[in-house]
Amino acid sequence: MPTRPVLVYEGDCAFCTTSVAFLVRRLRPDCALTPWQFADLDALGVTRARAEHEVLWISPPGAVYGGAQAVAKLLLRAGGAWAWLGGLLTLPPPRWIAHGVYRLVAANRDRLPGGSPACALPSDRRPGVPSVG
């Protein structure tokens, strides 16, 4: 297990890598950052499927938070006013709203500024698309 938190993100997605770089420049959180493609996912206690699905925050004891809650943990770790915002995102109803916004952004990241075709979720994992099989 790592000695400090790890943020695992989609390294092939231009929108994701640009977003992570922006957050790091602005927040300067004390954590390790790694694309899931280069992470030892087994050692972190997460599956490839989950890492492909959402950004992950892994705390030193091994707790895993995904999506909007991973962002909330990042904000909490940044301190100051960011921590206040991160704390707010852990409480309902802001947590529910943040989850919905995160899923909407994740499903459309290939259409957002900095996005590329590599940012698109596989069609079987997009909201509203029936699964095959």
* Sheet containing 56-58, strands listed edge to edge, beginning at the edge strand earlier in sequence: 32-35, 6-9, 56-58, 64-66
In a domain, 51, yes or no: yes
In a domain, 132, yes or no: no
In a domain, 131, yes or no: no
In a domain, 133, yes or no: no
In a domain, 127, yes or no: no
In a domain, 57, yes or no: yes
- At 44-85, the pLDDT tens digits run 999 999 998 899 999 999 999 999 999 999 999 999 999 999
In a domain, 36, yes or no: yes
Dist. CA 59–CA 16, nearest whole Å = 20
Structural domain including 115 reads: 6-122
What is the maximal distance between C-alpha atoms in the chain? 48
Q: Check: CB of residue 68 under 8 Å from CB of residue 90.
A: no
- At 77-130, the pLDDT tens digits run 999 999 999 999 999 999 999 999 999 988 887 777 665 555 565 545 544 433
The count of domains in the chain is 1
Q: How many Cα atoms sit within 13 Å of 90 on the Cβ side? A: 13
